[in-house]
Amino acid sequence: MKLLNSEEIKEKLEILNGWFYIDGSIVKEFKLKSFIDAVAFLVKVGFEAEKLEHHPDLLLHSWNKLKITLSTHSEGGVTENDFNLAQTIDTIRQ
């Protein structure tokens, strides 16, 4: 996998809604209706991430918020794989 440069990341972020590039990762926070909705969403993201052999950082906080941080740890930054998972996550959330 190839690390994306800042211009490639910027272009790909324009396609996504609500994702930001922060400290070498792409990040988005989701606010759900309830605690159980947040937990269910976290589990769905986990299953989809595993299918892509990706392991995002997932932070469940404030009872109904899930912060998702994506980077390809083995490559030390953002790759196409991160954007593929971000698109999948956005699809799950719709």
pLDDT at 24 exceeding the cut of 70: yes
* % of the chain at pLDDT higher than 90: 94
The answer to whether the beta carbons of residues 88 and 52 sit under 8 Å apart is yes
Distance CA 66, CA 85 (A): 15
pTM equals 0.94
> Residue 1 has what pLDDT?
81
Residue 62 near residue 55, CB atoms below 8 Å = no
Closest CA to 26 of 88, 90, 93, 82: 82
For residue 9, pLDDT over 80 is answered with yes
Residue 4 is predicted with a pLDDT of 97
93 band by pLDDT with thresholds 50, 70 and 90: confident
Q: What is the pLDDT of residues 32-60, one digit of tens each?
A: 999 999 999 999 999 999 999 999 999 99
**Burial (CB count within 10 angstroms: exposed 0-12, middle 13-18, buried 19+), residue 4:** buried
Strands (E) located in the chain: 20-22, 25-31, 57-61, 65-70
